[in-house]
Structure 1
Amino acid sequence: MTSRTLGFAAIGTALATSVALLAPAAAHANGAPVPVASGLNSPRQLTFSPGGQLYVAEAGVGGDGACAEHPEFGESCVGPSGSIARVNGNGSVSRVVTGLPSVANEQDATGPSDIAFTGNSRFAVTIGLGAPPEFRDALGLAGAWLGHVLTGDLRSTTLRSEADLVAYETSENPDGTDLDSNPVGLARWGNTYVVADAGANAVVRTNDTTVATLPPVPAFAPAAPFPGFPADAVPTDVVRGPDGAWYVSQLVGYPFEKGSSSVWRVVPGSTPTKWATGLTNVTSLAFAGDGSLYAVEIAENGLLGGPIGRLAKVTKGGSSHATVAAGLFAPYGVAIRGSNAFVTTGSVLPGGGQVVRIALG
C-alpha cells in the first residue's frame, strides 16, 4: 500500500461486510442518525444546490472495461458507473448524471468524489484516480476523464473538462515526490475551482496554480516502518470559512495514525497554519450557519482498525473535539442545512451506501 491516496484496501472486503452487519448503533450527543436515502454506490461527498436540493457523488462500481493494477487496491476495472444522485424529499434517489468513469474491484472504488454548484443546474464534479498517470493511460478511453474536474448542466448530457489534475501533477508535482493525483474535495473560487488533491498532497486551483502544499506527518504508530516515518498529508476536503480563508482537512496516509490529522487554514500566498489538531482520518468539513466547523472522521481510531467513524464538532485551536455522532460505518461526506448535518455512510459499499440526517442540537 502506498501512503498517498484514499484507498481502503487495508480494511478488506470481509471486514467491510462484517462491520456493516455488526456495527453497533451510532452513539450520539444531539440526536440519533436518521437514514434519509439508501442504495448508493460508494457515496462520497454531498452538497446542497442553491435551490436546496441534496446531491451526492457516487464513486460507482467500476465496470467491464479495461483493467489495470491500481497501486492502492490491486487489479481494478473501469466502467461508466459513476454518477451524481439527487436525494428526493421522499427518500428516493434519482441519478441525474450517469455514465461517469469509475474504477473498482471488490475492495474499493474511485470515481466521482465531490460536487460544487454555480447555480441550480450548473455544476462541477471531481473524478478521483489515486494513482500515477500510467495507471490512467492503461485504462484507455474509458478512463480518460479520471483525475479531472468536469463541468456540466443538469439539463444537458454534455460534460467538459475544466482541468486535468493528473496533467498538472505531471508537469508541476507540487510536493516533489512520486507522481500521484487524486482530486477529491472541491469548492468554487470565482470563475475557477479549488481542489484538494489527496494524491498530490496539495490544494490546487483549476487555473493551473498551486494554492498550498501540505507537509508529511511524522508517524509513530507501531505499524509505521520506523518511528517518525513521514506519512503523506493526504488533503481530502476544502471549504471556504466565514473569514474568507480556505479550510483543508486531511486523512494522513499509512499507517493512518490516530490523532495525526489536522484542519489547516490556508490563505493564498501565505504559509498554511494548523487551525485544529488531534483529529483522525478526516474526509470532509462543513461550516454551520453559526460559524461552527464540523468534520467527518472515516475511522475514529484509524483505518487499520476498521472504518467506524464519527461526526465531530471541531474546536478552534484545540486537540480534543466533541462527538456529535459516533459508531458510523465508513462515513465520508458532510453537508449542513439549518440545524441538521447530512452525512454519507457506507462509503466503501456498492449499493450499500446511505445518507443519514443528524440533528446538531
Structure 2
Amino acid sequence: MSLNPVRRRPRRDALLAIGLGAAIACTATATAGAAELDVVAEGLSNPRGMTFGPDGRLYVAEAGKGGFGACIQTPQGKQCYGATGAITRVNVRSGRMDQIVKRLPSLAVQAETTGDPDGDSATGPHDISFDGDRAYFTVGLGANPAARADLGPAGPKFAGLYRIGRRGKVSRVADLGAYEAANNPDSGQPDAMIDSNPFSVDASAGERILVTDAGGNDLLRVRPDGKVTTLAVFRPFKTALAPAFLGLPPGTKIPYQPVPTGVVRAPGQGAYVGQLTGFPFPVGEASVYRVRRGRTTVKAGGFTNIIDVGFAGGNLYVLQITSKGLLGGPSPGKLVKIEPDGTRVELAAGKLMQPTGLAVSDDRDVYVGNHGTSGTDGEIVRIPAEDG
C-alpha cells in the first residue's frame, strides 16, 4: 500500500525514536515523589522494554546502537546494521549487569560528519517477557519487510519474535515481518501500508503470547510453535490538524495512525495496550485500549505518546515518552498510575527524560528505562512504592 511521502517521514521518525468495562473518564492527575531518582544501572544502549524474571532479576532489552554493516535509507537517515543489541540482566540491589544474550541485530543512523554510528534511537531488541523460565523477546524493524533484503544475511533477523531456551540458546519463534507482508491486517485504513515493527511482548499466558506490531497497528497472538493470528486491529484511524510546516491550507486535518506500543495482561481483565499515535502526534489523544474476548475498547484516554504500560496490584501504569508530543520539542516523559477507582497519580513528576520501558517489582517499586533513546547513556531508575 502507498503512503503520502510528506506524512510518511514524520511517522517513521517517531517509530525509530524509540526508533510507539467502561472507559475511565479523563481526570485530574495528582503528583507524587519529590526525591531524586535512584539510578540502579547506567551505560545501556537504547534500553527498551523490561521485566522481572523468575530469579528476581530485571531483564532489559537493549536495542543497541547499530554499526558499520549494511544500511537502509530511512527518513531519519542512513541506518546501518551492527550486532550491538542485547538482553541484559540487572541485579537491582547491587547494580551488576550481565549481557546474557549478545550480538543481537540493531539498526541506527550513520552520522555523516564522523562516519561513526550515532547510536541514538536505534531499532533492535524491543521487549522481553517470561513464560516460566523461558524468555521471549521481540526485534523490531520499522519498515516494509521487503527492506530486509537490503541488509543481506542480517535482514531476516529483524521483525521477529525470539525465544531464549533453558540453556541460553536463541531461536526464532515467528517471522512477524512475513506475517505483516502476507496479511496486512490494517489494510483499508487511510495512509495504512505494509510496515512491521514488532514492539512489546507478554508471554505470561504460555501458549498465547501477545505481541504488538507498532508498524502494523495490530495486536498479534503467537503460539510457541510459531503460528500467528491477529487478535485485534486498532481502528479507525482518526484525524488531527495538520502542522503548519506541511504548508496545507489552515484548518486542514490529516489522518493519524494508532501505533500500538506496550502490552500487558491483567488477570480477569484481558490485555491493555498503549497507543503512541502516529504523525502529527496530537497532544492528549493517546489512549490505553483493553482487548478482551474479541472486543477492543478504550480503558483510559487523554495521554500523549504512550510508550509502555504495566499492571500490578490492581493498578495500571502508563508511561509516556514525552509530554508535549513528538513534534513539541524536548519535554519530560510522564509515568501515571491509574488506581482501581480511576484515580490518577503521576510518579516522579518532571524527572523522566525519554523514558522507554517500565517494570513493577513484587514490592511495587517501579523501574523505568530513562534516557532510553540514547546509544550510550541509557539508565534504569527506581521509583519506590511509597512515592506513589
- The TM-score with structure 2 as length reference comes to 0.82
Q: CA deviation at 1:155?
A: 2.9
* Cα offsets for 1:23-51 (capped at 9, x unmatched): xxxx8536542100000000001100022
Residue 261 of structure 1 and its aligned partner are, at CA, apart by 0.4
Aligned counterparts of 1:205 and 1:190: Cα–Cα separation in 2: 11
Work out the CA distance in 2 between the residues paired with 1:252 and 1:113: 18
Matched to 1:259, the amino acid is G
Mapped partners of 1:307, 1:162: distance in 2: 37
Q: Are the aligned partners of 1:70 and 1:135 in contact in 2 as well (CA < 8 Å)?
A: no
Aligned residue pairs total: 339
Cα pair 1:221 1:257 within 8 Å, conserved: no
Tell me the CA shift for residue 219 of structure 1.
1.8
Matches for 1:99-114 after TM superposition, within 5 Å: 99-105=103-109, 106=118, 107-114=120-127
Give the counterpart letter for 1:292 in structure 2: N
User: 1:93 and 1:221, CA in 2 relative to 1: closer, same or farther beyond 3 A?
Assistant: farther
Per-residue CA deviation, residues 47-93 of structure 1 (Å, 9 max, x unaligned), is: 0002211010000011111011124x221101111000111231121
The match for 1:42 is: 46
Q: 1:307/1:97 Cα in 2 relative to 1: closer, same or farther (>3 Å)? A: farther
Write the distance in 2 (CA, Å) between the matches of 1:44 and 1:265.
22
Aligned-pair identity (%): 41
Q: What's the CA shift for 1:317?
A: 9.0
Q: Distance in 1 between matches of 2:140 and 2:239?
A: 26
1:173 aligned residue: 184
Gaps of 5+ in 1: 11-26
Matched residue type, 1:205: R
1:221 offset after TM fit, Å? 6.3
Runs of at least 5 residues in structure 2 that lack an aligned partner in the other structure = 1-8, 20-30, 110-117
Q: Per-residue deviation at 1:231?
A: 0.8
Alignment-derived partner of residue 18 in structure 1: none
Give a deviation string over 1:317-344, Cα, whole Å, max 9, x none.
96x8431122211101110011310000
What SS does the corresponding residue of 2:89 show, helix, strand or coil? Answer: strand
| CA–CA distance in structure 2, aligned partners of residues 86 and 154 of structure 1 | 15
**Which of 229, 235, 241 is the aligned partner of 1:220?**
241
What do the CA deviations read for 1:244-283 (whole angstroms, capped 9, x no partner)?
401000100112221110000101422x100000011111
Partner residue in 1 for 2:375: 350
> Which string of whole-angstrom CA distances, capped at 9 and with x for unpartnered residues, describes residues 187-206 of structure 1?
11432411011000000112
- Residues in 1 aligned to 2:354 and 2:103: alpha-carbon distance in whole angstroms: 25
For the residues of structure 2 that align with 1:293 and 1:170, how far apart are their CA atoms?
33
Aligned to 1:110, what secondary structure does the other structure show? coil
Tell me how far apart the structure 2 counterparts of residues 182 and 316 of structure 1 sit (CA, whole Å): 32
Q: Where in structure 2 are the equivalents of 1:104-253 lying within 5 Å?
A: 104-105=108-109, 106=118, 107-120=120-133, 122-153=134-165, 155-156=167-168, 158-176=169-187, 177-188=192-203, 189-206=205-222, 207-215=227-235, 216-220=237-241, 222=243, 227-253=252-278
CA contact (8 A) 1:30 1:359 kept: no
Please report the RMSD computed on the Cα atoms of aligned residues, expressed in angstroms.
Answer: 2.2
Secondary structure in structure 2 of the residue aligned to 1:233: coil
SS of 2:16's equivalent in the other structure is coil
Match of 2:78, as an amino acid?
E
From the superposition, tell whether residues 288 and 38 of structure 1 become closer, same or farther in structure 2 (CA, over 3 Å).
same
Residue pair 1:101, 1:112 contacting (<8 A) in 2 also: yes
Could you say which structure has the larger radius of gyration? Answer: 2
- The equivalent position to 1:282 in structure 2, one of 295, 303, 306, is 306
Query: 1:275–1:317: 8 Å Cα contact kept in structure 2?
Result: no
Corresponding residue number in structure 2 for 1:59: 63
Name the CA distance, whole Å, in 2 between partners of 1:153 and 1:191: 15
Contact conserved, 2:186 with 2:233, CA < 8 A, in 1? yes
The secondary structure found in structure 2 opposite 1:330 is: coil
**Aligned partners of 2:262 and 2:336: how far apart in 1?**
15
Please give the alpha-carbon distance, in whole angstroms, between the structure 2 residues aligned to 1:148 and 1:9: 17
Distance 1:95 1:311 in 2: 27
2:15 is the counterpart of 1:3: no
Amino acid at match of 1:133: P
The amino acid across from 1:135 in the alignment is: A
Q: 1:154 to 1:248 in 2, by over 3 A?
A: same
- Whether contact under 8 Å (2:242, 2:254) holds in the other structure is no
Asked if residue 296 in structure 1 is aligned to residue 319 in structure 2, the reply is yes
Moved more, 29-38 or 195-204: 29-38
In structure 1, C-alpha distance between the alignment counterparts of 2:375 and 2:243, rounded to whole Å: 32
TM-score by length of 1: 0.88
1:217 & 1:309 partners in 2: Cα distance? Answer: 24
Report the CA distance between 1:131 and its aligned residue.
0.6
